[in-house]
Amino acid sequence: MGDAAHAESFRHEVFNKPFTIRPRTEDRPTPDNYRRFPDGDELPETMKVWLVQRTDKTYGGVVARAYGFADSPDAEILVKGFNQGKEYGAAAVSRHGNFLQWGYSASPSQMTRPGRRLFLNSIVYISRFNGKKPLIRVRADDRTNVLRLANVITRISGDKREFFERTFPAELWDQYGQDPAGLTALYRENREFVYHDKVFRIDSQLKSLGLKSNRTLDTLEALVAMLADTGKAAAARTLLTRYTAETFESAEQWQTWLVESRPRIYFTDTGGYKFLVAPEGYNVD
């Protein structure tokens, strides 16, 4: 049995240093399980993959969920795993801080030549992050995963209402408790306004200010600017408290923080739906 990875552009360093990797790709039917996840219906009928290892098993390792995996500057997906259980884009080889996840199970003797080179390149790559511990720990599900949870509210075992009210606002139960398609559509339409406060909520207050998303720097800049508007200052302070870890008193302090920290500010769903500031030396692009 061959275990494959999704074919990417091969521009990342792990495909080029110290060994150049140019695997031969082939077309495979898109796995049926990909269709069950958010945005799966938009995938093509086939996709290009390349062989990493050969085993005599029907499985060859593990992949990690892609949702929110790389929403902080210390984490990245290096290779997407072609899998029969999770969503498209799930990570087969990835990095978080100074941890390398190598998801394939075969020994080097069972890897293809490109697979062995990828293994060696990955070890060389992770060595540069020695001592750089992860910046965040998981505090909430990524907003895309909320679409998956909404879609299964009537298919879970046990108390469905209890599951619903642990995940979504209780006031939505009467309208959506038996309507997974409607609940999914509601959260899909408002994906840019989802945040987590014990349950997954849609930020109507942010929408009312005419902003387009809760996770862009444009929004953060707009909220800081609104502190100077007496009609919007109270709402802006509430939202800055919601979406940052800062506690400044004056508009001037907020503006100074924004200007000085802007190159290192990033938004993370999994880290708590917050704008955070990366340490010096991190690239947040």
Q: Residues 38-57: pLDDT tens digits?
A: 989 999 999 999 999 998 77
59 versus 193: the higher-pLDDT residue is 193
Q: Which residue has the tokens 């001592």?
A: 131
What pLDDT, on a 0 to 100 scale, did the predictor assign at position 56?
Answer: 76
What pLDDT, on a 0 to 100 scale, did the predictor assign at position 58?
Answer: 63
Q: 157-166: which pairs have CB atoms within 8 A and are 24 or more residues apart?
A: 165/199, 166/199
Q: Which residue has the tokens 């200052």?
A: 233
Residues 4 and 53: beta-carbon distance below 8 Å: no
What pLDDT, on a 0 to 100 scale, did the predictor assign at position 75?
Answer: 94
How far is Cα 90 from Cα 88, in angstroms, rounded to an integer?
A: 6
What pLDDT, on a 0 to 100 scale, did the predictor assign at position 50?
Answer: 95
Phi, psi of 15 (to 5 degrees): -95, 0
Secondary structure (3-state) at 238: helix
What are the tens digits of pLDDT across the range 207-225? 999 999 999 999 999 999 9
Structure tokens at 262: 């802007």
How far is Cα 146 from Cα 72, in angstroms, rounded to an integer?
A: 19
Mean of pLDDT values over 233-237:
97
How far is Cα 64 from Cα 145, in angstroms, rounded to an integer?
A: 13
What pLDDT, on a 0 to 100 scale, did the predictor assign at position 4?
Answer: 84
When the pLDDT of each residue in the chain is averaged and rounded to a whole number, the result is: 94
The answer on pLDDT for 1 being more than 50 is no
Environment class of 142 (CB within 10 Å of its CB; exposed 0-12, middle 13-18, buried 19+) = buried
Least Cα distance to 74 among 90, 96, 50, 54 occurs for 96
The answer on pLDDT for 17 being more than 80 is yes
DSSP secondary structure of 179-219? -HHHHHHHHHHTGGGEEEESEEEE-HHHHHTT-S-SSSHHH
The answer on pLDDT for 59 being more than 80 is no
What are the tens digits of pLDDT across the range 143-186? 999 999 999 999 999 999 999 999 999 999 999 999 999 999 99
pTM for this prediction = 0.90
Mean of pLDDT values over 234-260:
97
Q: Which residue has the tokens 């494959």?
A: 4
Least Cα distance to 35 among 86, 77, 92, 90 occurs for 86
How far is Cα 285 from Cα 265, in angstroms, rounded to an integer?
A: 10
Mean of pLDDT values over 242-262:
96
What pLDDT, on a 0 to 100 scale, did the predictor assign at position 283?
Answer: 73
Mean of pLDDT values over 8-36:
93
Structure tokens at 261: 């920290």
Among left, alpha and beta (phi > 0; psi -120 to 50; other), residue 248 is beta
Structure tokens at 175: 């309208």
Q: Which residue has the tokens 């994906």?
A: 191
Sign of the alpha-carbon dihedral angle for 13, 116, 25, 99? negative
What pLDDT, on a 0 to 100 scale, did the predictor assign at position 2?
Answer: 54
Mean of pLDDT values over 91-101:
96
